Amino acid sequence: MANTSSAKILPLKKLMTLRELWRWEGRTVAFTNGVFDILHAGHVKVLEEAKAQADLLVVGINSDSSVRLLSKAPGRPINKWRDRAEVVASLASVDAVVGFAQETPERLMSRLRPDVQVKGGDYRPADLPEAKHAGKVVIVPLKKGCSTTDLIKRLQGKR
């Protein structure tokens, strides 16, 4: 895969071409997704554990408009999509980053068909309608004290 973080940020069409190549090569793909607004150790833990599940890790990142649909909090996202994508793509555990504009990555996963979907411990497989498009689902326990929402509250002096 690409060496620079910008080169890891892919349009869906290119990602799908690579997915076919990886399938042909017999390489497994893990997928996780999120907002990744302010990257913290909890995110890094999930990404590293996701990478450990397969040969390659693809990360779906919510578009700015889909973050607002999620009602995370007023004023979110803090960072624009391209900035969030570049930060996530810069991590060694991440092989590719792709954006999606829906509330869930179901449409993206129906095309990608990853071998493994990985989510943080604030989810259960039953909460993931997109899970039917993955070979299996792995839930990673949350890292205590790591939450973007809590971090923002601490910065604002609310905690």
pTM: predicted TM-score of the whole model, two decimal places: 0.89
* Confidence at residue 154, expressed as pLDDT on a 0 to 100 scale: 64
Which fold, 5-155? Rossmann fold (3.40.50)
pLDDT bucket at 53, cuts 50 / 70 / 90:
very high
Can you tell me the distance from the alpha carbon of 40 to that of 59, in angstroms, rounded to the nearest whole number?
16
- Per DSSP, the residues of 119-141 read EETT--GGG-GGGGGSSEEEEEP
Task: Give residue-wise pLDDT tens across range 4-15.
Answer: 889 999 999 999
